[in-house]
Amino acid sequence: MSSASSNRSVARDGLDYEKVYPSGHREQDSTEDRSPSSSSSSSTYEDLEVVDQDEGPDDGEKQIVRSVIGADGLREFVMVPEWTVNFFTSVIKENHFKTLRDNYQIPENVTIRLPYKSEKCYYDGVEGVGIYEQMLKAGLRFPLSSLHRELLCRLGLSVNQISPNAWRVFIAMEILYGAMSGGKKRLTVREFLHCYRPDEIDKSKGIYSFVPRSPLLKVIYDTPDSNRDWKRRYFFLEGDGWMGRPGDTDFMPVDTTWGILHPSSMDRP
């Protein structure tokens, strides 16, 4: 649903493959101009596009989900009652933050905080984005790489709508692609979506896995059967310093609001 999408590879020439996941910091003087907040005063209602989708609740009546897209391509807040994110509150404690930074190379300029009391991983008015710890254990790193931003923009999903095992599949494909080419080639989102498609998880509504388009296209076979209690272990990244790395010349903000996967996202590129 995000209007920001690209079908080209955004892996930069000359970047050593072993540097796919380095941490970094953003120039702080530019963050205000690119704030992803859905309540940003830079978007006026004259600039908003309203996208209606029909949802069928249990009572059989149609419910209209309104996802408002601003002139900058970022969504206004949208929430569907059945989304799994509504049912979990975090159990992470502040004394765990040092471990998070040390183990997953979160730079100091990226602000992390605990959820407020009863604050869900996604809710109206958040400045920043909720992050599940299991996503970091799956290999995701912040600030995001340009390839990971492109995946989110292509699907129109927030970073926390892709399940930990789905991140494992994508990142494993990314590493294998570079390794099999001797570091000469980089995986593209088009190539990945040729083999895999996003699929909403039945027991985790609003969150997506990646499933092979055919048995012959299944590349990654071994992922954990269960990420224990992962929906209760989340914290928040504030600002937009987590979105991009130093030197990114093709920076594009990603949505921090949850999206509803557009049917076209299921098509093979």
Spatial distance between the Cα atoms of 227 and 220, rounded to a whole number of angstroms: 17
Spatial distance between the Cα atoms of 56 and 149, rounded to a whole number of angstroms: 31
Spatial distance between the Cα atoms of 40 and 76, rounded to a whole number of angstroms: 9
**Are residues 4 and 153 in contact, defined by beta-carbon separation less than 8 angstroms?**
yes
Q: Each residue's pLDDT tens digit in the chain (269 positions)?
A: 433 333 333 333 333 334 433 333 333 333 333 333 333 333 333 343 444 444 444 444 444 455 567 666 788 888 899 999 999 999 999 889 999 999 999 999 899 999 988 899 998 877 789 999 999 999 999 999 999 999 999 999 999 999 999 999 999 999 999 998 888 889 999 999 999 999 999 999 999 999 999 998 888 887 766 677 899 999 999 988 899 887 777 777 889 999 988 777 778 87
Per-residue model confidence (pLDDT) at position 66: 52
**Are residues 218 and 98 in contact, defined by beta-carbon separation less than 8 angstroms?**
no
Short-list 133, 105, 138, CA closest to 23: 105
Plot region of 202 (φ>0 → left; ψ -120 to 50 → alpha; else → beta): alpha
Please classify residue 191 by burial: count the beta carbons closer than 10 Å to its beta carbon, then call 0-12 exposed, 13-18 middle and 19+ buried: middle
Per-residue model confidence (pLDDT) at position 226: 66
**Backbone phi, then psi, for 132, in 5-degree steps?**
-85, 135
Spatial distance between the Cα atoms of 144 and 148, rounded to a whole number of angstroms: 6
Spatial distance between the Cα atoms of 58 and 235, rounded to a whole number of angstroms: 32
Per-residue model confidence (pLDDT) at position 71: 63
Plot region of 255 (φ>0 → left; ψ -120 to 50 → alpha; else → beta): beta
